[in-house]
Chains A and B, each alone.
Chain A
Amino acid sequence: MSNWLIQHWLVLLFTLRRLLSTPLASLLNIAIMGIALSLPVGVYVLLQNVQGLAVQAAGTPQISVFMARDANKNEVAQTGKRLGQLDTVERIEFVPRNQALEQLKRSTGLADVIGGLKQNPLPDAYILHPKTANPNTLESLRDDLKKWPKVDHVQLDSAWARKLEALLGFVRLAVLILSVLLSVALVAITFNTIRLQILTKRNEIEVSRLIGATHAFIRRPFLYFGLVQGLLAGAAAWLIIALSLYLLNNSLAGLTQLYASNFTLHNLSAGDSLALLLFSGYLGWLGAWLSVAQHLWQIEPN
């Protein structure tokens, strides 16, 4: 058993030496494969980030009811009472116009501009937290509320999130197609690399056959090569994505400050990183396996 392990260890060392013996070619190969991998994975990372945002927003649907600005206190209170009696609503929040103005001053840093206003442009508003997230119920509720007296505007906050969700579904499909195509490319690159190696190792393969090497023994170094190259390509893709996100976050910092939020892009999770490595390693192994199956039998000693 330990001898068997030593055999594999020796093949692994041999593979690494073979990679290092042609550093430029190996580097270019790994870079091409890494870039090919980083495209779908990069889009996937962005998708994950945007999705997190959408789920946050879409998870708590709210209905904002803005009163007409000429509504008096009594009318506003009465509307509040009616809203509280609705059995589709969990609870309501009242946001008086003065409080809304204060909030706006604090959160956007537009204090100077707002301070210059002669009167408060904002209406009184109610925020409803419905019991259900069913979009149809919410939409009919919104349409009902619009007809109430002294209600100026009703906004269903989850609408944009639902549109975003539909868009994300589309992007997800695009990522899937891109992944499949580039995986095939990755397998093809490995296939070709191994084909060239088999051709240059022709003598060695022939002699090994003559002195009693099994198919497994002859195949092993090529499979290892494919696997190692695939793993390195996965690592390269990971680095490309990590570096890109670092650069994007740097420029995003300036942008999000303007919008008063602290949104940053998150890198791949540990699990996703591991999956990326394993998958790219598997693709490399698969390319090598196909190439060996296709080309090795053509070399028969004579």
Chain B
Amino acid sequence: MIKFTQVSKRYPGGYEALKNVSLEIDAGEMAFLTGHSGAGKSTLLKLIAAIERPNGGSIVVKGQNVGSLKSGALPFLRRNLGLIFQDHKLLFDRNVFDNVILPLQICGFDHRESAKRARAALDKVGLLAREKANPIALSGGEQQRLCIARAIVNRPSILLADEPTGNLDIDYANEIMSIFRSFHQVGVTLLIATHDENVLRQSDGRQLVLKHGELQS
């Protein structure tokens, strides 16, 4: 599903975020990406979504070589991915419902069908009762769940999560992990970057450890 072959990424200024990383994640797998902050976890996720481009090596997602995709093709790659951000990236100029329906509007979905799907996604993360609220009125855990709802609303086959439990207390974190496990059960491929010990202890997925931009075996 996701395959890295000797990928390296150097930021302008010379900082080397990833060095010769090779890895493969199978369809339906739930894998964890761990390591200290600055180890390159976020960079690796960004490379999969083509938010950053690699300096060397190849990245293949669902059979497409991401590194060589033209910018016009990027939107269609990203529609297959559900992205969950550490800083949520919610829009505070619209309510919870409008935040979740945005990906469907972007894909040009039928309006009524979109509304149905958006409510289903909100129901899945337990926010259906708050659909009219402004995201700014939500707690940190609720904002994270809203971000998840937005990521899954167009039913992507791959979910990428960057520190989904960062800054959350244990109860909230467990809640979010149980949501992820339910996606795993229905066959979604998950790659979760986290340094949350509690999360790692409870989960039985494969752990990929990054250290100073290199993958530890």
With A4-B108, A204-B91 known to touch, is A211 a contact of B83 (CB < 8 Å)?
Answer: yes
- How many whole Å from B132's CB to the nearest CB in chain A? 18
| B62 adjacent to chain A (CB < 8 Å) | no
Name A1-45 residues within 8 Å CB distance of B.
3-4, 6-7, 10
**Chain B residue at minimal CB-CB distance from A302:** B51
- A207–B108 contact, CB under 8 A? no
Contact B93 A204, beta carbon cutoff 8 Å: yes
How far, in whole Å, are A82 and B8 apart by their CA atoms in the complex?
106
Chain B 94-135 interface mask (CB, 8 Å, partner A; 1/0): 000000001101111011000000000000000000000000
A301 contacts chain B at the CB level, 8 A cutoff: yes
Quick one: which of A213-236 are within 8 Å of B by CB? Answer: 213-215, 217
**Looking across the interface, which residue of chain B has its beta carbon closest to that of A200?**
B93
**What's the Cα separation between A52 and B102 when bound, in Å?**
57
Asked if B19 CB lies within 8 Å of chain A CBs, one says: no
- Chain B hits for A217, CB < 8 A: 75, 106
Our pick among A207, A215, A301 for the contact of B91 (Cβ within 8 Å) is A207
**Contacting pair A3 B91 (CB below 8 A):** no
Q: Which residues of chain A are near B102, meaning CB under 8 Å?
A: 207-208, 211
Contact A210 B51 (CB under 8 A): yes
Q: Is B150 an interface residue (CB 8 A)?
A: yes
Q: Categorize the interface residue count of chain A.
A: 20 to 34
| CB of B89 within 8 Å of the partner chain | yes
Provide the bound-state CA to CA distance between A259 and B107, in Å.
Answer: 69
Residue B15 lies at the interface, judged by CB distance under 8 Å to chain A = no
Is the pair B89, A207 in contact by a Cβ cutoff of 8 Å? Answer: yes
Q: A211-B83, A214-B75 are in contact. Are A3 and B51 (CB under 8 A)?
A: no
Residues A265-298 near B (CB distance < 8 A): none
Question: Which B residues have a C-beta under 8 Å from some C-beta of A?
Answer: 46, 49, 51-52, 72, 75-79, 83, 85, 89-91, 93, 102-103, 105-108, 110-111, 150
Pairs A–B under 8 Å by Cβ, sample size 15: A3-B108, A3-B110, A7-B108, A203-B91, A206-B89, A207-B89, A208-B106, A210-B51, A210-B83, A210-B89, A211-B78, A212-B76, A212-B78, A215-B72, A217-B75
